[in-house]
Amino acid sequence: MDNSEFKKFRRQLDKTQKQMAQLLGVSLKAIHSYEQGWRTIPPAVERQLYFLVSRKNIGTNGSKTCWRIKKCPPVRKKQCPAWEFKSGNLCWFINGTICEGTIHKDWKEKMKICRSCEVFTNIF
């Protein structure tokens, strides 16, 4: 996530920088730094921001579950945390999901795939 996307989402949530700092559990100075591009947005902050925006957008964009979109076979579904926790529209949020047939080692690697996935793009 870059600084312009961060600002876009903050505005979409209709929050001031101070309110955003409170929601994300960071300092106001951190929010300023993210929006100016002086500081890299940490994965935990990026993840939480995506979660907040997704909850606001979920009803407006009609979401399908990931296992339907990806046509996952029953064996793979049963091994996937998104299926286990009935979170097929939050698969991008949950670590350990089996996207593209493999479990990704970290948030950055996972998001490379999620950003182009229909589940994610339908929400954002």
pLDDT tens track for 97-121: 988 888 888 888 899 989 998 888 8
Please state, in angstroms and rounded to a whole number, the distance separating the CA atoms of residues 8 and 24.
15
42 falls within a domain: yes
- Sign, CA dihedral 50-118-57-95, equals negative
In a domain, residue 76? The reply is yes
How far is the C-alpha of 42 from the C-alpha of 75, rounded, in Å? Answer: 34
pTM confidence score:
0.83
Let me know whether 36 and 78 are in one domain.
Answer: no
Instruction: For residue 72, tell me if it sits in a domain.
Output: yes
Are 72 and 112 members of one domain? yes
71 with 31, same domain? Answer: no
The number of domains in the chain is: 2
What is the pLDDT of the chain when averaged over all its residues? Answer: 91
Mean pLDDT for 63-92 is 90
Tell me the mean pLDDT in the region 15-42: 97
H or E element, residue 110:
helix 107-114
Run of H or E including 51: helix 43-57
- Expressed as residue numbers, the domain containing 97 is 66-123
Do residues 76 and 109 share a domain?
yes
Within a 10 A sphere around the Cβ of 59, how many other Cβ atoms?
Answer: 8
Same domain as 70, residue 112: yes
Residue 115 resides in a domain: yes
